[in-house]
Amino acid sequence: LLTSMQEMARIVSVTARARELIQLHGEDAETACPLDAGSFGQLTFPLPIAHDRLEIPFARQASEDPKERSLGMCCVLLSTVGFSLASVLIKMDTQPSGVSFPTLEIGILRAVLGMILGLVGIKLARLPYRPRLEVAIVRLALLRGALDFLASNLFYYACSVLPIALATVIYFTNPFWAGLMAKIFLGERYDLKRAAIMVFGSFGTLLAVWPELQHGRLRLSPFGFAAAALGSLFQASQYVAGRACAETNLHWLYQNVAYSFAGMALGPPALIAFTVWGVKEETFVPFGAMTFRETFVTIGVVLCALTSQLWLIQGMGYIPAAMTAAIRTLDIPFAMMWALVLIAAVPNIFQILGGTVLVTACILLSRQKR
């Protein structure tokens, strides 16, 4: 993990030179060595340590057109609505015994369906199934996929055993850890002002759990609380790995397939282990034993997550990453509203205030200049 993340700085420095050449030579950058045109008109560049030419499509830059930026904001907002809905549907996905449906099984289903759709997308986009990539880039993509799989499944588990509002508030402390990790591994700026905003956001998390702390103990599942916190750290790591992947301009379809590979590699062994150990919440449920309600809600979670990822990818092509991060924090109030509508879970005043503080801190952090 550490070795892969330390390689991010090298990859970022290589691709930064390619971006400089694009700015110097404009749209006719294929005439500027070492850039040349890809087989479908996209810009490509070779990494200096590669043994052969690497063709990596350049991602679309943030648009300056007001209509396109508005479209991008709407797409990211739609993804936020979908992801928040998935977190609440997880809470509804229970077996007749009252035990939550295994979140790992949901993650595996999402990975399998994502693999199928990803391969179909690669075929439709006329991209090679086996692109010539540097090993470090493949490793980064798989690392990001593994971190994303772990983070999302830990969050889903936390949502199944904790109040939705609390699980979401704890999980969305990840922008602050991402800033610290980006400074360590990528050398990104993280000054005292950003640190102060991080402390302000942490106060929001403390405020959300204050009623439980006030009684001297947490009246909540300690495993759920730990899952939300650990998921936040994994999600922050995934953001850092994603930034490095973005610098390589690896096509998003390949990144989705990498997520599926990671999920299909990590999910089944973990699900088997938990089943053998007798962990009720993560014991495998055969498809034939699923009720209609379980099947319907599980399919809803998988489709919400996949559709939301599509909206997110489309939106990020039009707007800056900072704006995307700010909009994504709206998952907190959306999750509270979905929980209120679907399962009549009314958040208390501390959770509402904690979520408000956290959203404010994330917006302030995302508005800081690089």
For the question of whether the overall pTM of this predicted structure is more than 0.75, the answer is no
pLDDT recorded at residue 212 = 63
Is 60 exceeded by the pLDDT of residue 78? yes
| Tokens matching residue 331 | 């998952």
Please give the average per-residue pLDDT across 131-154, as a whole number. 86
pLDDT recorded at residue 252 = 78
Q: Higher pLDDT residue, 30 or 148?
A: 148
Mean pLDDT highest for which of 13-27, 154-168, 250-264? 250-264
| Amino acid at position 292, single letter | F
At residue 115 the predicted structure's pLDDT band, cuts being 50, 70 and 90, is very high
| Amino acid at position 245, single letter | C
At residue 239 the predicted structure's pLDDT band, cuts being 50, 70 and 90, is confident
pLDDT recorded at residue 61 = 43
Is 70 exceeded by the pLDDT of residue 232? yes
> 3-32 burial by CB neighbour count: b if 16+ within 10 A, else e?
ebbebbeebbebbeebeeebeeeeeebbeb
Is 80 exceeded by the pLDDT of residue 349? yes
The answer to whether 331 and 172 have CB atoms below 8 angstroms apart is yes
CA separation for the pair 282, 104 (Å, rounded): 7
